[in-house]
């Protein structure tokens, strides 16, 4: 059975996602961030989790889950 290309990542892409995940955990855990994903997609909230290639932000008790491979830039809000 052939792998579905929609869910297949090259080893390099997987490594880059892991690096971004580690960077966020080490430098921004429990801090309020703006997260830019392109176009008008900017998310804001406190970093609550960053695991399994998903960043979780909390803003006023509402959680936003962002695929790490979609993140272009992050900065402290």
Q: Going by C-beta distance under 8 Å and a sequence separation of 6 or more, which residues neighbour residue 55? A: 21, 24, 35, 47, 49, 65, 66, 68, 71
- Asked whether residue 12 is assigned to any structural domain, the reply reads no
* CATH number of the structural domain spanning residue 51: 2.30.30
- Give the integer Cα–Cα distance in Å for 16 and 21: 9
- Give pTM, 2 decimals: 0.81
Range of the domain at 49: 30-76
Q: What is the pLDDT along the chain (77 residues), one digit of tens a residue?
A: 455 555 555 666 668 889 999 999 999 999 999 999 999 999 999 999 999 999 999 999 999 999 999 999 999 99
- Asked whether residue 34 is assigned to any structural domain, the reply reads yes
- Asked whether residue 22 is assigned to any structural domain, the reply reads no
């Amino acid at each position: 059975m052939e792998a579905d290309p929609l869910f297949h990542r090259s080893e390099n892409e997987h490594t880059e996602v892991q690096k971004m995940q580690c960077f966020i955990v080490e430098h921004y855990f429990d801090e309020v961030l703006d997260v830019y994903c392109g176009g008008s997609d900017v998310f804001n909230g406190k970093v609550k989790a960053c695991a399994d290639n998903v960043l979780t932000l909390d803003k006023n008790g509402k959680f936003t889950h962002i695929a790490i491979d979609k993140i272009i830039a992050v900065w402290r809000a």
